[in-house]
Amino acid sequence: MIDFSSIEQMLRDTEQSGLPLWENILVSDCERQGIERSQSLEKMRRMLAAMRQADESYSGGDVSHSGLSGGDGAKMAAYAASGSALCGDFVSEVIAGALRMGECNACMKRIVAAPTAGACGVMPAVLLPYARRFGSGEDKLVEAMYVAAGFGMVLAAKASISGAEGGCQAEIGSAAAMAAPALVHLEGGSPEQMANACAMAVKNLLGLVCDPVGGLVEVPCVKRNVIGAMDALSAAQMALAGIVSRVPPDQVIDAMAEVGRSIPHTLRETGKGGLAATPFGQRFAPQNMNV
Ligand code: SF4
């Protein structure tokens, strides 16, 4: 069974197996869950389909219960379609996709937590536009999702994927660090490039605090999915260019765990610090919402 306790171990196990990384992660999933290959693949296909359905279920007219979220995905799509958007078509689509999914979550629609609900927009925001642009079929996307899952398991084992435990670096940062190697896989990169993409994605969001206004997974969460997706894109592109993380990937993840432990309690999903503590944020504090 593949060892997810470190990236180094995961890559070494994979090399010994002679399998591609995604497939070795699939084999390990089957062993761990005691299921057949076809069952594991079916589960991953269902998750991909759920991401697609959530993206398609988006409506620019939906507004969250708090009134804090809604409509930004549609605004971004309209701006992108105007022909005068600052970013190119692909990046504009990624930004719009991240906003859409974040808003779907805020509006209580069905999403795929990857790795968490708050960070649900990052993976689909890069995978779905990539598939549309490059014509990637379902099988290739499913492979990429196994790659993301493998790196996600290492992040969870060595550090955290919980904002309450490790700050937003553990949620949006981990989502970016899963999506980046998935993109490298789609581009035909090596496992080492995937590891470097993961490490660079983590490094670039290291220290990000969790400070949701009113304790709701809306502000800043929805828009942070955009920076997570951008982080994944840029980290993947750097890795594909041959750029490496100077700090070895496992040491980067160890640093993330250490930083997470150092983040004050007020900045770990308690709604008591950062943006949640601003005068605007305080208007949405639970005690003020009840009066
Ligand atoms: S700010 Fe906190 S709740 Fe929002 S996405 Fe980040 S970790 Fe999750």
Q: What is the pTM of this model?
A: 0.97
Give the pLDDT of residue 1. 74
Three-state secondary structure call for residue 30: helix
Task: Write the DSSP symbol of residue 161.
Answer: S
Residue with tokens 């899952």: 149
Choice from 104, 161, 168 to test ligand 1 binding pocket (greatest atom count within 8 A of CB): 168
Q: What is the pLDDT of residues 212-252, one digit of tens each?
A: 999 999 999 999 999 999 999 999 999 999 999 999 999 99
Q: Is 36 exposed, middle or buried (0-12, 13-18, 19+ CB in 10 A)?
A: exposed
Residue with tokens 């990857």: 114
Cβ atoms of 152 and 135 closer than 8 Å: no
Return the biggest CA–CA distance within the chain: 63
Give the pLDDT of residue 290. 59
Residue 291 has pLDDT above 60, yes or no: no
Please name which of 42, 38, 8 lies closest in space to residue 150, comparing C-alpha atoms. 8
Quick count: other Cβ atoms within 10 Å of Cβ 31?
12
Residue 168: pLDDT band (50, 70, 90) is very high
Token pair for 181: 């190697």
User: In angstroms, rounded to a whole number, what is the distance separating the alpha carbons of residues 147 and 116?
Assistant: 17
Helix 249-262 to helix 191-204 angle, to the nearest 10 degrees?
A: 20
Task: Measure 208 CA to ligand 1 centroid, in angstroms.
Answer: 9
Task: Measure 115 CA to ligand 1 centroid, in angstroms.
Answer: 12
Instruction: Determine the average pLDDT of the residues in 268-278.
Output: 96
Q: What is the pLDDT of residues 65-104, one digit of tens each?
A: 999 999 999 999 999 999 999 999 999 999 999 999 999 9
Ligand 1 site, residue 214, Cβ cutoff 6 A: no
For 139, 141, 150, 240, the CA distances from 2, given in Å and listed in that order, are: 22, 21, 9, 25
Choice from 105, 213, 222, 224 to test ligand 1 binding pocket (greatest atom count within 8 A of CB): 224
Q: Please give the mean pLDDT across all residues of the chain.
A: 97
Q: What is the pLDDT of residues 2-38, one digit of tens each?
A: 889 999 999 999 999 999 999 999 999 999 999 999 9
| Torsion of Cα atoms, 22 then 112 then 258 then 203, to 10° | 70
Q: Side chain identity at 178, as an amino acid letter?
A: M
Quick count: other Cβ atoms within 10 Å of Cβ 215?
17
Ligand 1 site, residue 253, Cβ cutoff 6 A: no
User: In angstroms, rounded to a whole number, what is the distance separating the alpha carbons of residues 99 and 256?
Assistant: 25
Task: Measure 253 CA to ligand 1 centroid, in angstroms.
Answer: 19
Ligand 1 site, residue 121, Cβ cutoff 6 A: no
φ and ψ at residue 3, rounded to 5 degrees: -95, 115
Residue-range domain boundaries for the chain: 7-53+121-289
Ligand 1 site, residue 218, Cβ cutoff 6 A: no
φ and ψ at residue 284, rounded to 5 degrees: -105, 5
Q: What is the pLDDT of residues 110-135, one digit of tens each?
A: 999 999 999 999 999 999 999 999 99
Q: First vs last Cα of the chain: how many Å apart?
A: 55
Q: Is the preceding peptide bond at 249 cis, omega within 30 degrees of 0?
A: no
Q: How many alpha carbons lie under 13 Å from residue 167 in its C-beta half-sphere?
A: 22
User: In angstroms, rounded to a whole number, what is the distance separating the alpha carbons of residues 11 and 65?
Assistant: 44
Q: Side chain identity at 111, as an amino acid letter?
A: I
**Atom 2, ligand 1: residue with shortest CA distance:** 210
* Helix (H) or strand (E) run with residue 117 in it: none
